[in-house]
Structure 1
Amino acid sequence: MNDRGAAAEQRAADFIATQGLKLVARNWRCRFGEIDLIAKEGKTLIFIEVRARRHAQFGGAASSIQRSKQEKLIRTAQLYLQSISPVPPCRFDAICIDGDDLVWLKDCIQAD
């Protein structure tokens, strides 16, 4: 990960802490991929994708989360969930940073 990516993830981690979420894991990796942040909000486990772009041109950070990336996140989360019991309610969020603007997209990726 480059310095800019690490800085974006740190900014996202700091942000979710101010929103009352408890960070569970950072950069959780398995054979399917990586989940940037895993947090808890009450009893809900949240898998968070962090995306950063210098500016919002060409759709910005949110549009960079293509369907293939979403599927990879879902498979990775499913493997993570196999390691815990009982499985809590879950959701997928994204924190998108375009320049200085940070947007938290809650429940933006749906596992079918």
Structure 2
Amino acid sequence: MTPLTRAELGALGEQLAVEHLRSLGLRVLDRNWRCRYGELDVIAADDRACVAVFVEVKTRTSDRFGGVEQAVTPQKVRRLRRLAGLWLAAQEVSWSQVRIDVVGVRIGRGSPPQISHLSGVG
């Protein structure tokens, strides 16, 4: 079996993250939303609490470059907030709360994928 390209690895990680979010009862509203300032990986809704959840997905094959906590810097959180604001401005629905989460997907050879979920990072 040939190794996955970075794009394939990212797409697989994102799909696993979406399945994880759905298993928690979240409804996926959008994926790979883009504007001139960047991209939001997954936008989901927690309908029970009327919360819009903006999810950054980090897919890794090892922890060589640090874990999920190290992958989302304060600068990255500021960028995600800006993008979330732009997405929200284009919506007709109003949300009582907004949250930014990070889902880390670690895909190792021969072992099942490991998912970590940090809720409310910014």
Determine if the TM-score, normalized by the shorter chain, exceeds 0.5.
Answer: yes
| Separation (CA, whole Å) in 2 of partners of 1:33 and 1:58 | 22
Match of 2:91, as an amino acid?
I
Give the structure with the higher percent strand.
1
CA contact (8 A) 1:95 1:103 kept: yes
Encode CA deviations 1:7-35: one digit per residue, 9 max, x unaligned.
Answer: 00000001111111000000011111110
Point out the structure with max Rg over C-alpha.
Answer: 2
Structure 1 stretches of at least 4 aligned residues deviating more than 4 Å after TM superposition: none
Structure 2's unaligned 5+ residue stretches are 1-5, 108-112
Report whether the alignment pairs 1:52 with 2:59.
Answer: yes
Encode CA deviations 1:42-84: one digit per residue, 9 max, x unaligned.
Answer: 2111000000111123422331112222221111111111112
**Seq. identity, %:** 31
Over aligned residues, Cα RMSD in angstroms?
Answer: 1.5
Determine which of 14, 17, 36 is the counterpart of 2:19. Answer: 14
TM-score by length of 1: 0.89
Match of 1:44, as an amino acid?
V
| Separation (CA, whole Å) in 2 of partners of 1:58 and 1:9 | 19
Q: What residue number does 2:102 align with?
A: 94
CA contact (8 A) 2:13 2:57 kept: yes
CA contact (8 A) 2:68 2:102 kept: no
For the residue of structure 1 that corresponds to 2:91, the secondary structure is: coil
Q: What residue number does 1:74 align with?
A: 81
Structure 1's unaligned 5+ residue stretches are none
Match of 1:14, as an amino acid?
E
CA contact (8 A) 1:51 1:62 kept: no
